[in-house]
Structure formats: structure tokens, C-alpha cells
Structure 1
Amino acid sequence: MNTTHLSNSTPTSIDAPLLKVVGVNLLIWLGISTLGSAGRYHDILRHGGYLPYLGLWLTGVNALTMLFFISTGLYIFLQKNPEKIATTGHVIRLYVLLVLTFFPLHVLYSTIVPTWLNTPGPHTLDSLWSEFIHNNSFTWFIEFCWFTGTFTAVIAIRIWYIGQARNATLQQTQTAYLQLELALEQQRLQSLKQQLEPHFIFNALNAISALVRTNEKSVALVGIQKLSDLLSYALRASNRDWGSFKDELDFIRDYLALQQLRYGGRLEVSIHGDVPAILHGDCLPLLLQPLIENALRHDLDCHKGKSKIDVLLSLNQDQSQITIQINNQIQSKAKKNPGLGLGLSQTRLRLELMYEGKASMHIKEGAQDFSVVITIPSYRPDQADDML
């Protein structure tokens, strides 16, 4: 037989207090008795007879008294011991036990004893036993149906309560898990920002120091001013999760202007596709700078010749996605810098965290060029849904 496992414990907030269980059961059985007595009273009047309604009602209450005690006791017992209905086998064993013990007591109290007391003659144990074994089989069947229905109703209610408790516990667990996931993601994102800012500052200061070492003091002073502007943007960006493409591209132009003070005519830059529809889109602050820095690190830092960086921006047909492609040349004979640096790995992780799988990043490396292609939604996820 297949078994359905239920929770072995139920939160106290789900379980009803003892007095409430007794009160609700009492109201239910009094209601059943009242309705049943009203039906019998109506039938008697319709056939021309008469019996006091109060007497019929009291008789009905007495007939259902044992069912009240059985349902109340069973409910309280299962409330304290939910493991007793943990499987189908447990339920069957409990039912058989109650049929062998409480069901005969119910029949004895509700039908046999009243009939025996109303029977003329001596009221002895022998006469009571005779009444018990010769009782109408249909009466036994009706009482068995009442008993089974009561048992089934109590079991169903307790299983429902246990299911509610399990759902409440599951929802609480899922909520706690999601809150923990959110806290961890926020912590990871903050860690990325904390890594990104020192990395950017370190490389920018290297550019200024290179100018100082070449005794280009006036150019170095211009570089320091530009660095001040860049740091101002970086500090503002560190306090927010989103910015505009316009701000990001303005920052990139200033950053490249600073780098051109260092590299001079060796560095050629072109930015295409910065149309209004893209400039008004949302962008992660400092998204492009690590990629530009990566291009410089693995190209111009590796040789003395010229090189070019191309930044290409484009929209898909429905303008829901922006593609960013950053290309830089590679000198095949130049000595390579080790590793890929922090820029690429950090950018990929930021995209995963902030766009929740709706962004992509691909790296293409050829014999003479290197490119990074990023595709992101035109607007950050929370605004993109509102615009549909």
C-alpha cells in the first residue's frame, strides 16, 4: 500500500487551543442534533402525530453524545500526536483500534441502553447482553456509518491542518532562504565594487606616475585634474547600482583622454552607435572601464607601437537589447601580459548578479585582434518589466 508521509510536528500557531476544540465540536454536534430533531419533528406533525420538540431534541443529543466525545478526544489526541496519522498504515491501524473499542461503547450508549431501559422486565446484565447481541442489524449499520464518518472527518481536518502547517513552514523556510540569497548577492556585489574601485584607482595612478617619470609635468597636472573628475564619478557610481549610458560614455571618454596623455599618438579610439535611444538606456556604473583597461593592458602595455580601440554600440530590432562590442588590436610578436586581469571576470559576475541571466558576455580572440561582446537589456530588469 502506498503511504503518504506527513509532518511529524505542527506549529502551535496552527493548532487550536483545547477549549476551542471542545467548543467547536460541541457546537457542531448540537447543530447536527438540532437539525435532525427538527426533521423528525416535522415528519411527526405531517403524519398527524405529536411529540414535544424538546424531548426529541434531548433524545437526539443523547444519541450523539458518544460521537461528540470520540471526535473531541480523537482530535485532541492527534493534535498532540500527529505521527499517529503519518502514513496510511497508521490511519488504518488507528481506525481498527477505535472500531474494536469505542464503536461498541457508542452503540451500547446511544441505542442499546435506552432500548433496554424502556423494555419491561428485570434490567439485568443478562438482559442487557441479550439486547446487545439481538440488536437490529440496520441500527448497527447506521451507527457504524456515523462512527466512520466522524472518524474520517476528524482525520481529514487534522491532515488539512498538518498540510497548512507544512506549507507555512515551507514558506517561512523559502522566505528565509531568499533573504539569505539576497543578502549574499548584495554582499558579493558590494565586494565587487570594493575590488573595482581600488583596481581603477591603481591603474589611473599608474598612468599619472608614468607621465611624471617622463618629466611631462604640465601634462601630468592635466592628468591629475582629469583623474580628480574620474574619481568623483567613480565615488558617485559606487553608491548606486544603475546609471545611464550617457554618463558611462562620458566617463569612458574622460578616462581615454587621461590614457591618451600617457600613450600619446599611440592610442587611437573610436566610439560609434551612441544614439539617443542608447544614451537614455540603463547601464551598470563602471561597466566599460574595466574592459577598456583590459584592452590597454594586453595591447599598448605590451609593445611600443600604435593600436586602436573600437567601441561599437547597437540596438536590436525592437530596441529591447543593447549590444556593446569592444575591439582592440593585438601585436602577435609582443610580449603578453600574464592572465586576463580583474576586469573580465568581475564584469561577467556583475552581469550575472544584476541582470539575473538576461545578459550575456562573449570573448573572441583572434590572431590580430581581441574583442568582448556584451548584450544587455536596454533598461534595468525592474523597469523593463514595467515598460512591456
Structure 2
Amino acid sequence: MNKQNLFLLLLPFLLFSCSTGKKSLQKGNYYQAITQAVERLKSKPDNEKALTVVKEGYPMAMEWSQEELDLALSSNSAFKWEQAINTMHQVNRLSELIRSTPAARKIISNPKTYTSELNMAYEKAAEERYQAGIHFIEQNTREAARTAFNHFQKADQLIPGYENVLQEMETAKEMATYKVIVEAATVQSRTYKLSSEFFYNQVFEFLNNKYPERSFVNFYSPQQAERFQIQHPDFIVQMEFFDFSVGNVVRNEKEEQLTKRIKVETKDTTRVTYTTYKAKLKTFSDKVISGGRLNYRIIDFNTDNLLRDNLIPGSFTWENRYAIFVGDEEALSDEQFALTKNKTLPLPPHQDLFIEFTRPIYERLSSDLDQFFRRYR
């Protein structure tokens, strides 16, 4: 980072630290004014403007904060005690700043600090959130349960373990969460003995990472659904591989005559001498082409409606190229010579080829499933 960019980065901090807060005070930004002035006094304790801002501005800030508290607590607005908490914390931050700055403390020897009032405000705020959660959970709908969960969670943040909020959070989470059973991907084939377990585990792991237990969409295998006694899920995801082939072998051979003339350096600079190299190169290419399609379906368990019924194609080509030659090695290019170092390889097992052609299918499927379920989380 050059000096100019560093200066631009530090400029807002420098301006703030050099300000005495006078302009902020004139605009009625009391907290900002006091903060700027006190920060200035940390580096220059005898700054007259900063001392004046603290002396004149602090009483105004305290008067303003009391008005804010009175307005908030006398109103009928929801969660007014959280507004009060924010104001009290603002006052306490100013108090801490002043008490840690000797020059400011000489002017304001006993800055206002909320302690017992703040504790009471937390109790009131937690109760507000708790009662709001009870109100919504009693509506007995999924959306209301999600709102209730958020209120209970906020109550627990204000006062951890308030009343029986943890139990209520668990109840609301259970009511709000969509439950999805992901069935194994079947493979119907008389020709191949293949397992889709690797593919299924990939999909299942993706969904559980994308939608962890704390989200409002939870995924279960059929075995997990039985263990947790989930008899009425919201959605069923079904997958089936079909119309596929694994291990179609294509072999190609190519023979060519190679000639290369190379200039030879001699002591006689008046003559140009060339050496000609010749070789016969035979190149082999073994390809194994695999491919197929996955049909995935998303079913609404309660209505039996088919919400998604899509086909995703996938393919994979395994290739091994090698070559042999007779004649002069110098006639070959570097690439051709490298092919002569390759050997004939055994064809990959059908199961490995099956896994490979499902990889692009997995990429598309995971994107589709995320697009469908993200609206519910």
C-alpha cells in the first residue's frame, strides 16, 4: 500500500481524533460531540475547545438521554425496554470514556452510570420478548411459530435461560421446521452391479451442511426418519438413475511417417548442412465413454402433489493415449515422445466410471435442491 492510499485510509480516523466536537455539539449530536472532545483530551489535555464541549455538552447529553428514556417508556411501542437499554448503554459508554480520561474527569467528576436500572430494563425487555413469543406460538401456524422462535431467541440473548425460554424455543423450532426425507438414489440395471451410495452420501452431506440443524429445513434419511418417528414429513425427495451405460470402449489407431530436417553446425560457415531423421509412429487411443440421467422428484407429502420432476444428464470420458515408434527418436516432437512413455492401462472398473459420470449430475442436483428449499429456511 502506497503512502497516499494509507493516508486516505487513515483520514477519517485522523479527522475524528483531531476534532474537538464543537461542530457536532452545534448540530445537536451530543454523544458524538462528547466522544470527539474526550478523545481529543486524551492526546491534548489542555485543549480549550474540547474542555468547553465536555463542560457544556455533557449536561445536554444527559438531559437528552433522559428525554429519550421518558418518551420510550411512556409509549405503546413494541419492545420499548430494548430502546431504553440502548439509551442506557450509550450513557454508560460515555461514563466509561470520561472516567478513563483524567482531563475530562476533572470537569465531570461523577458521570452518570446505569446499573440497577439497566438490570431491571433487561428483565422487562426479556419479558416483552417472551410474551410476544407466547402470543405467536399460540396461533399454532408454521409462520407464527418461526416468529415466536425469533422472539424467544431474543429473550434468551437478553437474559440467558429466562423463565422456560429454552423449552419454548425448542417447541417453536419443532413447529416451524420443514422436515424432508431424502430417499436413496436407486439404480435399475440388469447389466451392471453398481452402487449409488457415494452419490447419495454426497447429496445428503451437502444438504445438511447447507441447512444445518438450526435452520428451518431439516433433512433425514429414511433410517433417521424411522428412528426419530417422523411419520408425517413435509417433503419427499426421490432419485433414480436410468437410461445409462457404463464402459463403452472406443479404440483408435493412427500410423504416420515422420521426417525432420535439422541444421548441423560445421566449421565451414560457407556451407549449410542438414541431417534428416525419419521414424514411423503409431498412436493408440483407448476411450471409455459413460453416461446416463438422473430423475429426481420432490413430492409434497401432505397433498401428494409432484412439485419437481426433472431429468439431469451426465457423462464422463476416460481416455488413455500411448504410442510406439521405430526409427530415429529425433524425428518425434516432445509430445509424441512423451506418448511413447505411456503404457497400456487396464480399463477402469464400472463402479469408478459410474461415480465419475455422476459428478456433473451432483453439481446440478445440489444447485437445484438448494434453489427449491432456500425459500423455506
**TM-score (normalised: structure 1):** 0.19
Q: Higher strand proportion, which one? A: 2
**TM-score (normalised: structure 2):** 0.20
